Copies of this chain bind each other. A is one copy, B any other.
Amino acid sequence: MAGQIMSKPELTATRLDDAARAGWLYYVAGNTQDEIAAKLGISRQSAQRMVSLAISEGLVKVRLDHPIARCLDLAAQLRDRFGLKMTEVVPTDPGSSSTTLGVADAAAAEMTRWLRTEAPIVLGIGTGRTLKAAIEQLSPIECPQHKVVSLTGNISPDGSAAYYNVIFNIADKIKARSFPMPLPVIASSPEERELLHAQAMIRPVLELAATANVAFLGIGDLGDEAPLFVDGFISRTELDELRRAGAVCEIIGRAFDRNGIPIAGLTNARVASAPIPSCETAMVIATAMGSRKMQGIAAAIKGKLINGLITDEQTAEMLLASK
């Protein structure tokens, strides 16, 4: 999608159509690429390209339908030990350093479960790389009965749309009414935040966010590669100050210490995001994995900020080993 000029929507459409057909013949019908090439009257290389296009465009979704005992076990342990309502543990790829591999698929599946309910729900959605990857895995589904509300602003410090704000991506995939929050993530001053929040466009969105039935959140670490810093929402100095104040993680822009207590003042005084929906009234599900997020996950649990967790084996083990 990046380097693609949009002057050929119909061409792309038929290309994807062919890709889907090739992918179908390959994955469902079990043909070899040679056979596909013969049947579709193209060269083998082209067939290969179609198939790999189908994969890279996310047309092909693979699901594993087997409860791996160890993962179930870890999930149950997490649930019991930390009083969570819902946990999901996916296998870990020992060699990969990805922080989305697996949890993204699992999060997409969990979202689908919620979206499939007939009763209208309000789905709150955070931000971040993990969630972005999850939305990419989401299958299109029509659910006009639901509302999806962004819990955080979608404007980058430079004024452009924040890349890792996912409300627009999710709106693309599902036909639900979506409510973005046309705000910066962090306002320039507490006063500006109040001003922004008082706007007629924003207030209803904040109110809607407070009524969310379920929320999916990413957890950001505050290490040297903190997403909040890397993406330019806070400065190096602000990051250092937060860390000195004991902050270990950030959820929708708001920083928390190791006990899950919000840091007083600093950037938190200016964060324009909606409050995290309450665990009393909503399922608040965090999707996070990897050692960098460990502290943050532990903090979110300790502070009872979340009551659901989607993570991977290794992180689950570390969480259970700690404390």
Contact = CB atoms under 8 A, between A and B. Distances in A.
Interface of A: 13-14, 16-17, 19-21, 23-25, 27-29, 31, 35, 39, 54, 57-66, 68-70, 90-91, 93-96, 101-102, 105, 116-118, 139-140
Contact of A116 (B31, B91, B116): B116
Contacts of A96: 29
Contacts of A14: 69
A314 B117 CA distance: 35
B93 A29 contact: yes
A42 to B, nearest CB: 14
Contact of A95 (B31, B57, B68): B31
B59 A65 contact: yes
B13 A69 contact: yes
Given A16-B66, A118-B118, 9 more contacts: A14-B69, A17-B68, A24-B68, A29-B96, A29-B101, A29-B102, A39-B94, A59-B66, A63-B139
In the complex this chain forms, how many copies of it are found? 2
B28 A101 contact: yes
A10 to B, nearest CB: 10
Chain A contact residues: helix, strand, loop or mixed: mixed
B27 A64 contact: yes
Contacts of A63: 60-63, 139
A20 B93 contact: no
7 smallest beta-carbon distances between A and B, as pairs: A20-B66, A29-B93, A27-B62, A59-B66, A61-B63, A24-B91, A39-B94
A65 B174 CA distance: 13
Contacts of A31: 93, 95
A65 B105 contact: no
Contacts of A118: 117-118
Contacts of A95: 31, 35, 39
A105 B24 CA distance: 12
A20 B64 contact: yes
